[in-house]
Amino acid sequence: MEFRDFYNENILTIDNGNTEQIEQFQNTLCKNCSAGLMLADSIRLTLIFNTPIWYTFEDIQEISQRVTVCQLTVEMNNLQKSRIILHIVMLTANKLKNTCPSKQHHMTKSLSSMLLTRIFNVRTFVTRKSNSAVGVSAQQPSSDESGDCLDAISRSGLGVRRQWKFDKLNGRRKLLLDVRKAKFRICSYNVLSQTIMERTMHLYRNCQAENLLWQNRWQRLSMEFDSIDADLFCLQEVQDMHYGNYFMQFFADKGFGGLYKRRTGTKPDGCAIFWRLSRFSLVSHDAVDYHVPNSTLDRDNVGLIASLRLQDGDERQRLVVANTHLLYNCARGDIKLGQLALLLAHLQLIAGTGNGDGDGDEPFEPLLLCGDLNSTPQSPLISLLKQGKLRLERLHSGQVSGQGSPVVGPLLRRPLLPAHLNIYEPTCTFQQHQQRQHYGNPAVIGHRIPLKSSYKFPAGEASRWISFLSSCDSAMVDHIFYASPRLHCIRYCSLLSRDQVISSVGFLPNAYCGSDHLPVISDFYYFFK
């Protein structure tokens, strides 16, 4: 029999309960001296193992003539059949190892965790060996070995990769060696609410309809969660009806705990935080509603704060994680600043230690602030986070976020927050009612957290990179900030330019990426007390 005999209208069909058919398929594979199917054009291995396999160039040519790109694509989109093929090829590999010793195959004994490219998130590498041999290694490299992040675009095989960028030690090399520490990874990701997408279809006019279907997007998102392999996920635009059936079920199966806060009013989505239970346990949490009735803050965005304890340490080893999605409207910088001020007030209250007046005590627990801030790296809003203060005189509402066209709009209204919230704007801290007469300079908004961004950009290059792309707009609006001498950013997953994304995978979402945002990812050291 030949490979084409197993196809019916370009669909590879194998009955897992038909031992005779399985045996015939095994014999066909063995006859052609291959343990997998190859793409004709790019000679990429599709059915693969997590161990090295060697093929002769003649083998690849012979198999390539029998399997078309169309047939392979159909199979890659059928998870049930892919699992059947996974089982068949594992059996075939063992048979090949025993019955085809004359060919140039090299297989190790560990064949139990065989994987499928794209479906099971494994990257394949094809390298031309000397003379006619072609070496195919399907062993998934660690991010440390490859230098690439394992996000959807990097795994697409289309020539564009997001690489790890290492942060400078800044004199902390000795500390890294001498102090007990834990390493963890955090990912912030706007996953695109299905309902919001369907209400704004003009933003996705350059996308194929099948790539906008929720089931297809979820498959790609869940694959990317797996390959990113973070210990903490801060997700935005998680649809309420999808949280339990998809997100929480997926992360619970992977050993994560989770929190969710839906936006107020009738909005269908919200923010979620997931943490790996083997690394962290939940101490407390707080949800922050940004909607304040009868005020300028009339939008339904929210924030979510989780206080976690590291499982590797004692009760003192805390990490506070804040996740938020600020208002999108680029003309309403006054609302964005007000929402951020509310989050900072709650964050300083929760993360505050009551110390910091001497003896090396820290005023705040180690903390992370993540999310879709709908503001660019050089915007006044991001400057507020990094510098600790922002002067509001002569600042127009449309200048706050740095998004899109430079819409100036009216001057910012002051104060930004309603008086009854009792928040002192120059420090974004809660005050007692009797303290409100000591407000100081109302033209300044600030905070006391020494925040740093995990993403570093050379001077003048920040505007080049994007974390969001639609048919109408693109920008870098997703951020990870951290604070504490006990947190050290080791590295971050680099971003891409608009042209790089469009020329490789196309507009977002697409056949590789499940959202219109890219995940931002950073690795950290946590130094124990």
How would DSSP label each residue in 392-425?
-TT-BGGGSS--SS----SBPPSSSS-GGG-EET
Mean pLDDT over residues 160-172, rounded?
78
> Is the same domain home to 90 and 217?
no
Rounded to whole angstroms, how far apart are CA atoms 223 and 217?
A: 10
Instruction: Give pLDDT tens digits for 9-54.
Output: 444 555 555 667 666 766 665 554 333 333 222 222 333 333 333 3
DSSP 98: H
Segment 258-285 mean pLDDT: 97
Domain boundary among the residues 110, 140, 170 is at 140
Lowest mean pLDDT of 172-181, 486-495, 497-506, 516-525, name the range: 172-181
The answer, yes or no, to whether residue 405 has pLDDT greater than 80, is no
| DSSP helix/strand/coil, 217 | helix
Verify cis geometry, omega within 30 degrees of 0, for the bond prior to 509: yes
Order across the sheet with 487-493: list the strands. 164-166, 487-493, 520-527, 181-190, 232-239, 269-276, 256-262
Cβ neighbours of 351 (radius 10 Å): 24
Higher pLDDT, 432 or 436: 432
Please check whether residues 178 and 314 belong to one and the same domain. yes
Alpha-carbon span 113 to 109, nearest angstrom:
11
| Structural domain includes residue 84 | yes
- Name the nearest CA neighbour of 370 among 311, 300, 319: 319
Helix (H) or strand (E) holding 482: strand 478-483
pLDDT at 133: 28
Per the domain annotation, does 384 fall within a domain? yes
The distance between the two most distant Cα atoms of the chain, rounded to a whole number of Å, is: 89
483 plus 515 within the same structural domain = yes
pLDDT digits (tens, 9 = 90+) for 468-502: 999 999 999 999 999 999 999 999 999 999 999 99
For residue 187, the domain's CATH number is: 3.60.10.10
Q: Is the pLDDT of residue 156 over 60?
A: yes
Instruction: State mean pLDDT over 286-309.
Output: 96
Each residue of 79-112: pLDDT tens digit?
444 444 444 444 444 444 454 444 333 332 222 2
**Residue 147 forms part of a structural domain:** no
* Residue 145 falls inside a structural domain: no
Q: What percent of the chain has pLDDT over 70?
A: 67
Please tell me whether residues 197 and 288 are part of one structural domain.
yes
Q: Say whether both 448 and 506 belong to one domain.
A: yes
What is the three-class DSSP state of 310? Answer: strand
Q: Are residues 129 and 167 in the same domain?
A: no
For residue 117, give the nearest of 171, 58, 7, 43 by alpha carbon.
Answer: 43
Is residue 429 situated within a structural domain? yes
Instruction: Give the DSSP letter of residue 426.
Output: T
Enclosing domain of residue 76: 3-140
Helix ranges (H only) for 65-119 are: 69-76, 79-99
Residue 360 within any structural domain of the chain:
no
Tokens encoding 411 = 């001057």
- pLDDT given at position 315: 81
Last residue of a domain, one of 140, 160, 184: 140
Count of the separate structural domains present in the chain: 2
Residues 167 and 42 in one domain: no
Say whether the peptide bond before residue 415 is cis (omega within 30 degrees of 0).
yes
Distance CA 154, CA 147 (A): 11
Within 13 A of 160's CA, how many CA atoms are on the CB side? 16
Crossing angle between the packed helical segments 380-387 and 333-351, to the nearest 10 degrees: 20
Residue 482 φ/ψ, nearest 5 degrees: -145, 160
Distance, CA of 182 to CA of 319 (rounded, Å): 12
- Domain membership of residue 114 (yes or no) is yes
User: Same structural domain for residues 182 and 124?
Assistant: no
**Could you give the CA distance from residue 6 to residue 50 in angstroms, rounded to a whole number?**
26
Do 325 and 213 fall into the same domain? yes
Q: Which of 367, 384, 371 is nearest to 323 (CA)?
A: 371
Looking at the structure, do residues 233 and 372 belong to the same domain, yes or no? yes
pLDDT of residue 353: 83
Asked if residue 479 is part of any domain, the answer here is yes
Indicate whether 289 pLDDT > 90: yes
Range of lowest pLDDT (148-157, 224-233, 402-411, 473-482)? 402-411
Is residue 273's pLDDT more than 70?
yes
Whether 294 and 237 map to the same domain: the answer is yes
Sign of the CA dihedral with 148 first, then 151, 155, and 158 last? negative
Point out the domain boundary residue: 140, 171, 200: 140
- Residue 245 CA to residue 200 CA, distance in Å, equals 24
**Span 506-513, average pLDDT:** 97
The pLDDT assigned to 306 comes to: 98
Average pLDDT, the chain: 77
Strand partners, 321: 306, 368
Partners of 130 in the beta sheet? none
- What whole-number distance in Å separates Cα of residue 422 and Cα of residue 460? 39
Q: Which helix (H) or strand (E) holds 483?
A: strand 478-483
322 and 351 co-located in one domain:
yes
